[in-house]
Amino acid sequence: MQDEKKLVKDCLKQHPAAQKQLYELFAREMLGICYRYTKSMHDAEEVLQQGFIKVFQYLHQYRSDGELGAWIRRIMVNTAINYLKRRPQYQLDLSFEDAHLHPVDNHQPDLRVQMKDLLNLVRQLPAGYQTIFNLHAVEGYSHVEIAKMMGISEGTSRSQYARARGLLISWLENHGINDKKDYYAR
């Protein structure tokens, strides 16, 4: 913790070695976060670079009362969402129409899947479903917070999450994963 405080201070003093060290300390983990929201490694790397520009630009606003990694993570998530909103290839998938919503079904079974398998399936979701699933299930944002971030209603967030979850469960069941006892949570 003390090392992080010193690292932040050195970065604020514009020391290149400290900036490089901060980048190297968090880049790998943050690239994984960026990749969860995008459809290609190229896009994820672009989000990562934009995110770190913001990290260094706003590092003076970081308060040492929280984890530095959590603060950087929030910047990366917001940068990824803004990136998706600005890119034509993601725009269609991010246009949420309340008229096409279906009711949320809370009676779907809970499955436990190996993380690698689940992440691969999540990446196959349309960008809108993928984004909301990641924000809610992985990052832990509430549907109220997601609605504000995405500029959508809370109901739309809930419905898109339910659709994403339903698709994932269907894919898992259709690929025989439901036959493996260790994949079920209950």
Instruction: Give me the tens of pLDDT residue by residue for the chain, a chain 186 residues long.
Output: 568 899 999 999 999 999 999 999 999 999 999 999 988 899 999 999 999 999 999 999 998 888 999 999 999 999 999 998 888 766 555 555 543 433 434 444 444 556 677 778 888 898 889 999 999 998 999 999 999 988 889 999 999 999 999 998 888 887 655 444 343 332
* Residue-range domains of the chain with CATH: 2-91 (1.10.1740.10), 98-183 (1.10.10.10)
Task: Yes or no: say if 36 and 119 are a contact pair by the CB < 8 Å rule.
Answer: yes
What's the CA dihedral at 69, 119, 28, 51 to 10 degrees?
Answer: -60
Distance CA 100, CA 98 (A): 5
Q: Which of 131, 122, 137 is nearest to 84 (CA)?
A: 131
Q: What is the pTM of this model?
A: 0.72
The pLDDT, as a whole number, for residue 179 is 43
SS3 106: coil
